[in-house]
Amino acid sequence: MSDLGENTRGAEIAFFGGSFTAIDREYMISLLEAARPFLELFEGVRISTRPDYIDDEVLVLLKKYNISTIELGAQSMSDIVLLSNNRGHSSKQVRQAVKKIRSYGIKVGLQMMTGLYKSTPELDLYTANEFVKLCPDCVRVYPTVIMENTDLADYYRSGDFKLYTLEESVRLCSEILKLFYENNIDVIRVGLHYSDSLVENSLGNNYHPAFRELCESKILLDSVSEQLSDNKRIIIYVNPSSVSKLIGQKRANIQKLNSMGYSVKVIPDKALGKYEVRVEEQR
């Protein structure tokens, strides 16, 4: 571990893939003890867990082991959605957990899933707005992906569950991503990591390996569209880090503007924010 050197600067040790504070307490402590010798090399320790497995006893313990961030799998702030998906916690417990974690000086992350069973775009936007009110240090946004051999797969095949299409998910999550950005909330993940198992065992067409890029491309195209005029020769100024996203995958955004009759020139402008664009007429 010490061979990592500078690579550990600003990094955290992370325990993910389950509800860390819900596992056997002795096993949880053994994992934290295993990380203890390396704490000086890292910024801290990040864990993910359930909102209903947060209390004073566990927070006192976690504080001793330099836990820097706790991410809560809130998923939705609609109690109807939480109950329908057997999440086992309520929206009230999410709010209580956030408040309690903060009282111990630990950063809070919130994870949400769009398109869950019994959810709607309106309820997903409600969740995002409730997250904003809680002022988390970071969020993750995951569109629901249906896996084989699950209750959701049964609901999907029976017609009881209609999954959002990829286009619907991109439209919704681009709005959510922009909402968090405008409220200075760091979105550290949008969409699931790629895996062969995910692709081979999922249903519907809601998964895309570059989902965040699709959402950010839509945000930028929407901003351009709001500034279009009758002049068909335009220059689009955009932050250098967002040029490829403005252009779109396989030049999709440029092709769409071309199909509308616009001749487009893209110029980087460092003065613009991440999702800002400025459209001017070509002289």
Q: From first to last of the 283 residues of the chain, give the pLDDT tens digit.
A: 445 555 667 789 999 878 999 999 999 999 999 999 998 888 889 999 999 999 999 999 999 999 999 999 999 999 999 999 999 999 999 999 999 999 999 999 999 999 999 999 999 999 999 999 999 999 999 999 999 999 999 999 999 999 999 999 999 999 999 999 999 999 999 999 888 888 889 998 889 999 999 999 999 999 999 999 999 999 999 999 999 999 999 999 999 999 999 999 999 999 999 999 999 999 8
Q: Per CATH, which fold does 2-209 belong to?
A: pyruvate-formate lyase- activating enzyme (3.80.30)
Looking at residue 43, what DSSP letter applies? S
Which residues are 47's β-sheet partners?
15, 70
* Secondary structure (3-state) at 129: helix
Query: Beta-carbon neighbour count of residue 188 at 10 Å?
Result: 13
Alpha-carbon separation of residue 220 from 88, 90, 174 (angstroms): 38, 35, 10
Give the model's pLDDT for residue 231.
92
pLDDT digits (tens, 9 = 90+) for 110-157: 999 999 999 999 999 999 999 999 999 999 999 999 999 999 999 999
Q: Could you give the residue range(s) of every CATH 3.40.1260.20 domain in the chain?
A: 218-281
Q: Per CATH, which fold does 218-281 belong to?
A: Hypothetical Protein Ychn; Chain: A, (3.40.1260)
Give the model's pLDDT for residue 2.
47
Give the model's pLDDT for residue 135.
98
Alpha-carbon separation of residue 152 from 113, 260, 267 (angstroms): 14, 40, 46
Instruction: Tell me which H or E stretch contains 100.
Output: helix 91-103
Q: Are strands 277-281 and 233-238 parallel, antiparallel or unpaired?
A: antiparallel
The answer to whether residues 233 and 283 touch, using CB atoms and an 8 Å cutoff, is no
Q: Could you give the residue range(s) of every CATH 3.80.30.30 domain in the chain?
A: 2-209
* Secondary structure (3-state) at 32: helix
Looking at residue 47, what DSSP letter applies? E
